[in-house]
Amino acid sequence: MEFEWISVALGDAVWIVLAFAMGLLAKLVGLPPLVGFLATGFVLNYLGTTSGEMLQKLADLGITLLLFTVGLKLNPKILIRPQVWSVTILHSAIVIALFSAAIFAMALLGVSLFAGLDFKIALLLAFALSFSSTVFVVKSLEEKGEMKSLHGRIAVGILVMQDLAAVVFLAASTGKLPSLWALLLFLLIPLRPLFHYLLQRTGHGELLILYGMVLALGGAELFELGGVKGDLGALIMGVLISTHPKSTEIAKSMLGFKDLFLVGFFLSIGMLGKLSAEALIIGLLLAPFILLKSALFFILMTRFKLRARTSLLATINLTNYSEFGLIVVAIAVTNGWVDAQWLVIIAIALSLSFVIASPLSSLDDKIYSRYRKLWMKFQRKQRLPDDTLLDTLGATIAVFGMGRVGTGAYDRMRELHGDTVVGIDFDAERIKKHQQLGRNALHGDPSDADFWDKIERDHSIELVMLALPNLEANLDALGQLRVISYTGRVAATARFPDEVKILQQTGATAVFNIYTEAGTGFADHVEAQNPI
């Protein structure tokens, strides 16, 4: 290794150590680590440190892989729902109109950094502030295991619509049209069976991860060659293989790489420009306006027949500013349209919006439950087919989470107890497949206070089995069971020893560690089939 690369590596190592320390501190005080990463960027910026080469490459890779994984989990059908495209268009139009009017009014009054801004620039800044963060929302939904829930799919659909608008702006801002070679990108659609075939042949190891990298980075490079934003290429490649059975596996395999690279992105946000008192004050004043964006999202979603709970949870996820807003303003700065301080202002507002949104996101079910009467005032009487309260039809055993573990539990309990068992999951496509196989499976959300309220009134469930994707999802369901003073048995799954104790303390009467207990189950199975 040449000396200059050793120097670069050592410099970036200092940032990584500091990012770890501040990320850990944020976690200890109840905030997500990404808030600590953002703070690290601002500290380094204040100390006069600039973004290193390794850090910038990590940031670029993080965004590319993020959009690829979003594509893997995106059902194109969700984009054609009025609850997605209509809400996105109306929300963007209203927010841009309100924000641009306010910014232009400040310019007319000659306020500090607003002075000299014309109405076109006011529109551009309002456009930048109208987005919500794809990075934050996807990470939040993944951590809670809610990517496939209705409110998660609605939120991601809105984000994709916003991202497409940002990509159009990025292409238009260069003053260049995509090259004629871009038409060849449509050939990727008929090549979809080939991508699926290769995915099937990659197995389950390192080759699967490498293939994911090839699709994400290769797709981005192909789109760049065609004069189209490369990140859109990563998103499209994800969508092209999203229907393959192994799409979930490849997303999980690449999760660690994506999270690592995104650390670079969050660090780089705070290192975009020099902090000043004026920029800090304006950034602070912009932060509360995310609540205005949220209120508008909630009102629009309920007008389009979504339940109050679905609307609120999707809204809380979207309560933030976006990294795409930074990209839009960065282009404006590069073209000399606005002062470079506006990049710092948007970065501060973005960071503060994450600080505000983080506790709201972690408490979303509690916020709905506590103020349910208020939220229900906005709910319309008409219901969408996939957003209604489910009926357990007199079942006495309910299995929540119909993945591999939940399905195995359901099948075994049905053998023992017959048709009194019901399986529940918030992934509509998964439930449809189970129903086609003859299972008594229903679409629903175990953290839904409305569902448990109905259970409390018409209760026949004696055993609840929680096979949900992570600890937080299990804890949310246990919290709802406590609210209705459920007295039946509750069994839950855990993946780590420390989770077992937490679940037992929270109310689970039995906890099954799916990793440590798997060996015991395997041995019992062998002994039952072929006793020594």
Torsion sign over Cα 198, 138, 174, 42: negative
Which residue did the predictor score with more confidence, 399 or 232? 399
CB 346 within 8 A of CB 284: no
Which of the two residues, 525 and 487, has the higher pLDDT score? 487
CA dihedral 200, 206, 207, 212 (to 10 degrees): 80
pTM of the full structure: 0.75
Residues constituting the chain: 532
Residue 388 has pLDDT above 70, yes or no: no
CA distance 62 to 248: 19
Question: Residue 173 corresponds to which amino acid?
Answer: S
Residue 47 has a pLDDT of 74
Predicted local confidence at residue 93, as pLDDT: 95
More confident residue, 396 or 524: 396
What pLDDT score does 313 carry?
A: 92
CA–CA distance from 219 to each of 188, 216, 247, 278 (Å)? 9, 5, 16, 41
* Average pLDDT value for residue range 218-235: 82
For residue range 446-473, list pLDDT tens digits in order.
Answer: 777 777 766 656 667 888 999 887 888 8
Instruction: List, as one string, the DSSP characters of 51-81.
Output: --HHHHHHHHHHHHHHHHHHHHT--GGGGGS
Percentage of residues of the chain with pLDDT beyond 90? 14
Work out whether the CA dihedral 99, 105, 107, 110 comes out positive or negative. Answer: negative
Those residues whose C-beta lies under 8 Å from the C-beta of residue 382, and which sit 6 or more positions away, are 305
Which domains, and CATH codes, for the chain? 3-376 (1.20.1530.20), 397-529 (3.40.50.720)
- Residue 123: CB atoms within 10 Å: 17
Q: What's the rounded Cα separation, in Å, for the pair 11 and 263?
A: 16
